[in-house]
Amino acid sequence: MLHVSPRASVFGTDSRLDETFFWRLERYGDLDCFTATFRKHVFPPHTHATYVVGTVIEGLHCYMHKGRMVRTGPGHLCFINPGEVHDGAPVDGGYRYRMIYPTEELMQEIMGDATGRKEGPPRFLEPEVHDEEVAREFAEAHLKLEDGRQPLAGDEALASVLVKAVQRYATSSLDLPGIGVETAAVARARDYLAANVDQPVDLKTLAKVAGLSGYHLIRVFRRATGLSPHAWLIDRRVHLAAQLIRAGEPLSLIAGRCGFSDQSHLTRLFKARLGVTPGQYRALRH
């Protein structure tokens, strides 16, 4: 089964027993991303030039790492540092997992973005940890990156979960700077989001407009508004959708005009915030 995706490079396979889906994100320097279900496939001992960071969604995955047999399931995070030998095999009925392969340069960039200073490459201390909170956040970030239609949501989620993982499980001690008011920077970001409410904004572009690092912008924006930049953008989109509904705009056109991925995306987020669907809201006019 070939998965269709707007991203730069994609391939997929489908056999009777195993399924894989790989894609690459250009805005992260060609970050490799992978999701797979393996019931029979066994990886031989191998290394990566990048980190391996991921979580098992279903089933049980085992791998040898530095002479130790590691077993990971749901609620666990997997960490392999660049150059570390490991293999991989399914246990019992197999497993489904989600993985990313960030380079050392990308990890340094994200960590430096968070601290405001140059950071060395982190080293994860254990090949797996049980942390249901971070595992869930990683899976959610991975899904947003795979969807690809709301890049700001994926960018916020990825930066936040990687910083948290390094803070908890790597040798690097990330000393995050204090959060100032940064009124002008937040105002520039808000103005840009308002002017591009129908566009797929990404964090790097928004941070450049604001004049802050991306991770710091997330923190100061949330302090100033009570919402992350993406959540604030969704609020503006819902407000605009409500305005267009009241003006009699056809519902079939509103999702695109407001920057939602599709009609179901509009309906889900509109109802979450206003308690009624767009169709129900339109009926209130009569």
187 within some domain = yes
pLDDT at 286 over 80: no
72, 21, 144, 211: CA torsion to nearest 10: 100
Is 30 found in the same domain as 136?
A: yes
Give the range of the structural domain holding residue 97, as residue numbers without chain letter.
Answer: 9-169
The predicted-structure confidence for 206-232, as pLDDT tens digits, reads as follows 999 999 999 999 999 999 999 999 999
Check residue 274 and give its pLDDT.
93
Distance (Å, whole) CA 280 – CA 265? 16
Which of 117, 135, 169 marks a domain boundary? 169
Distance (Å, whole) CA 126 – CA 189? 38
4 within some domain = no
The predicted-structure confidence for 64-122, as pLDDT tens digits, reads as follows 999 999 999 999 999 999 999 999 999 988 999 999 999 999 999 999 999 988 889 99
The predicted-structure confidence for 154-204, as pLDDT tens digits, reads as follows 999 999 999 999 999 999 777 887 777 789 999 999 999 999 999 999 999
Is 157 found in the same domain as 187?
A: no
pTM summary value: 0.88
Distance (Å, whole) CA 5 – CA 123? 32
Is 188 found in the same domain as 154?
A: no
Number of domains in the chain: 2
Is 142 found in the same domain as 233?
A: no
Mean pLDDT of the region 128-141: 98
Is 131 found in the same domain as 244?
A: no
Q: Any long-range contacts for 133-138 (C-beta under 8 Å, 24+ apart)?
A: 134/77, 134/161, 134/164, 134/165, 134/168, 135/55, 135/74, 135/75, 135/76, 135/77, 136/75, 137/161, 137/164, 138/53, 138/54, 138/55, 138/77, 138/98, 138/165
175 within some domain = no
Is 112 found in the same domain as 22?
A: yes
241 within some domain = yes
Distance (Å, whole) CA 265 – CA 286? 25
β 9-14/128-130 pair status: unpaired
Distance (Å, whole) CA 37 – CA 200? 30
HSE of 216, CA atoms in CB hemisphere, 13 A: 23
User: CATH code at 277?
Assistant: 1.10.10.60
264 within some domain = yes
Is 197 found in the same domain as 161?
A: no
DSSP characters over 223-262: HHHSS-HHHHHHHHHHHHHHHHHHTT--HHHHHHHTT-SS
The predicted-structure confidence for 3-32, as pLDDT tens digits, reads as follows 333 333 344 444 568 999 999 999 999 999
User: CATH code at 82?
Assistant: 2.60.120.10
Mean pLDDT of the region 38-51: 95
Is 251 found in the same domain as 155?
A: no
Residue 253 makes CB contacts below 8 A (sequence gap 6+) with: none
Which of 139, 169, 199 marks a domain boundary? 169
Is 196 found in the same domain as 143?
A: no
Where does the chain have alpha helices with state H? 104-115, 132-147, 151-169, 183-195, 203-210, 214-225, 229-246, 251-257, 263-274, 278-283
2 within some domain = no
Distance (Å, whole) CA 215 – CA 113? 6
Assess contact for 203 and 229: CB atoms under 8 A.
yes
Check residue 23 and give its pLDDT.
95
Which of 146, 169, 192 marks a domain boundary? 169
Distance (Å, whole) CA 147 – CA 164? 23
